[in-house]
Structure 1
Amino acid sequence: MSDSLAILADPDWLPHRYDETDDSFRFVRVSREDHRSASFLTDEHLGGTQNFIAVPRDRIDKSLVPQAPIHFIFHSAYCCSTLAARMFDLEGVAMGFKEPVLLNDIVGWRRRGAETQSLAEVLDLSLSLLSRPLGHDQHVVIKPSSIANVIGPAILAMRPNARALLLYAPIEEFLSSIAVKGLWGRQWARTSLIGQAKDHALSHKFTTEELLELTDLQIAGLSWLSHLAIFTRMQKKLGANRVAFCDSATLLRDPLRTTKAFYRHLEIPLGYSEAQAIAEGPVFTRNSKDGAAYSADDRQARLDHTREYNREEIDMVAEWIRQLAKGIDLNVNPETNLD
């Protein structure tokens, strides 16, 4: 028990995985610097995750878990969400957690038919464990994988004081991002849609034959639209004051304005000099994945080049997505409401 208490009291022990077979959480050591340098909180990017300590769920007393206010960045993928999470790396104030696998495990368990009450209990405890602040931080910001969007409504219902940013890329930019990744991007889109189908989270019903007839970019577009449908329902239910949309183009247009708006929406105090340091620092000038020099203009030029090369397919698929959205009265360009 003493070991468990020590782990729970030390936020450097990240709740990395949940193992439903023995109802335990696997904790791994992840320092603030590890958070900062890892693109995602995955085995690939963290390293050493095989050296975990498993703590049975029944040995965790939630009342003894230190917790800070927790907020979320939900996203449709390829929309600068990792950049957004990095904005919240401000020692003594907040830390952004980039796609903790723990939440993916819960989605996977849900897909395998987890009993509803047990699933809710594990999700609630997972959120408490993720809420432990690093060092002297006062807030925690979680950017789940897009896989976890399906449990986004449940997460916000469990944490009524949590706020959320809903990030997406305009449809043409999203399709260009998939195309620029080549075969890997197209395969990723299909894998994502398979998961959404298992979650019963597609915006439209298609037969297996109809899905097989879709092109890779149609699959990607349908996946994007399905995420947007979840976000739209969340905002309609919870209100724009609590969950706010922002598209990637707006996010990058004015880094200082974005930084101030994001912190303000999540109700995290931020001084002007701190906001300026974030806006002018590596968050907006270094690639979130490889650390290379980065700018909004560079990103846009790359997307524009890809779109030009694939213009016919991208334009046709984007229009197809707009027609699908129109059929369910869904706005494919939800307004950014952060001012």
Structure 2
Amino acid sequence: MAEILTPTPPLSTQWLAHRFDPIHDAFQFVSVDRVHRQSVPFLTDEHIGSAAEPLVIARSNVTGLIDMHRPLHYIFHSAYCCSTLLVNALDQSGSASGLKEPVVLNDLVGWRHRGGDPTKIAEVLTSTLGLLARPFEGTEAVIVKPSNAVNGLAAAMMTLRPNAHAILLYAPLRTFLTSIARKGMWGRLWVRELLSLQLKDGLVDLGFSPPDYLRHTDLQAAAVGWLAQQKLFSQLAARWPSRVMTLCSEELTASPITAVEACATFFGLATNPESYPNNIEQAFNRDAKDGTVFLPGQRERTQQNGEALHADEIDKVMVWAQAVAATADVPLFLSNRLLRTRAV
């Protein structure tokens, strides 16, 4: 580990709070400028490179970098729902800067799962959110899109930042299952890893006993994870009806300009509306993960081809999942909708 710096050196806002080390009670900062942050799909070691040379600062010495009054908002999501595209579209100089899945929040989840003291974790989470809220320009808001492995901390994140608003973005269940099925082994492995995290967070309350999860097929496990997130999202929307709005990915892709402008209004962003069409065209015409350009209708054809290939399995799991949802009182479509019309 690099030397822990004391006192805190002056840090420009391009220094990102990247990791937290609970053993040394210290943050690791890496230098990532705005262009780099915008160009990568996630703020992980794989994509930001400079994480190999961090500045390590004790948590007790970062208070001068924290301003709890800076505007900070969230996009919580269920995965494979265009959340990265939405952050890219909202990221606009002078209006908002986006943070796509900062790893420091995942560190706190891992610490929690290893039995960390909840009071200490809450203290560190407070500091973490204050560090992430540092904008590139003075009046900008910061929009954090955590990994969906962080959803178990969503209620705490809303509580600790009482002025924060949140968009809950999700794909319809059938769309989600199709995305998992067409990704093959890696998609199926990922949903089982996610489910294991949700079980540790106590988010899965659908009437199953522990042995049941071993009997589920991969797509059943995917559906259980989706339903657990949907139940959590429903609870968040009910708890903070004025601060939490929901958005379905089908609505987002059907009317991206309308959806992005509605998000900007809800977050109270200082925007230049004329710039959004260009932002949206750049964001939604490319694959968020690798930057390749989408041909007209390519997304729809990819989804349709994947669904056709796995139709029998998806049909059966849909019937089963709808029965589970009805029994557990989980809505397949969420209330508190950001947009008044539904494209699904």
TM-score range, shorter chain: over 0.9
Deviation at 1:203, TM superposition (A): 3.1
**1:228 equivalent in structure 2:** 230
Structure 1 residues 295 and 68, CA, compared in 2 at 3 Å: closer, same or farther?
A: farther
**1:333 equivalent in structure 2:** 333
Aligned equivalents of 1:295, 1:262: Cα separation in 2:
26
Deviations 1:84-113 (A, max 9, x none): 111121012111100000111111111111
Q: How does 1:275-314 map to 2 (within 5 A)?
A: 275-279=276-280, 281-294=281-294, 297-314=297-314
SS across alignment from 1:176: helix
Deviation at 1:2, TM superposition (A): 7.1
Deviation at 1:42, TM superposition (A): 0.3
Structure 1 residues 108 and 252, CA, compared in 2 at 3 Å: closer, same or farther?
A: same
1:121 aligns with 2:129: no
Q: How does 1:76-95 map to 2 (within 5 A)?
A: 76-95=78-97
**1:4 equivalent in structure 2:** 8
Deviation at 1:295, TM superposition (A): 5.8
Aligned equivalents of 2:210, 2:308: Cα separation in 1:
32
Structure 1 residues 334 and 108, CA, compared in 2 at 3 Å: closer, same or farther?
A: same
Deviation at 1:137, TM superposition (A): 5.0
Percent identity between the two aligned chains: 36
Deviation at 1:209, TM superposition (A): 2.3
Structure 2 runs not aligned, ≥5 long: none
Structure 1 runs not aligned, ≥5 long: none
Q: How does 1:13-162 map to 2 (within 5 A)?
A: 13-61=15-63, 65=67, 68-162=70-164
**1:247 equivalent in structure 2:** 248
**2:260 equivalent in structure 1:** 259
Aligned equivalents of 1:137, 1:63: Cα separation in 2:
16
Q: TM-score, normalised by structure 2?
A: 0.93
Contact 1:16–1:26 under 8 Å retained in 2:
yes
Contact 1:14–1:28 under 8 Å retained in 2:
yes
Aligned equivalents of 1:203, 1:33: Cα separation in 2:
42
Segment drifting more, 58-67 vs 112-121: 58-67
SS across alignment from 1:4: coil
Aligned equivalents of 2:246, 2:77: Cα separation in 1:
10
Deviations 1:267-306 (A, max 9, x none): 1132331222223x31111111111112673112111111
Deviations 1:208-228 (A, max 9, x none): 321111000000111111111
Deviation at 1:330, TM superposition (A): 1.7
Aligned equivalents of 1:52, 1:205: Cα separation in 2:
45
Structure 1 residues 334 and 64, CA, compared in 2 at 3 Å: closer, same or farther?
A: closer
Segment drifting more, 250-259 vs 66-75: 66-75
Count of aligned pairs between the two proteins: 335
**2:323 equivalent in structure 1:** 323
Aligned equivalents of 2:300, 2:126: Cα separation in 1:
39
Q: TM-score, normalised by structure 1?
A: 0.94
Aligned equivalents of 1:145, 1:272: Cα separation in 2:
28
SS across alignment from 2:29: strand
Structure 1 residues 287 and 27, CA, compared in 2 at 3 Å: closer, same or farther?
A: same
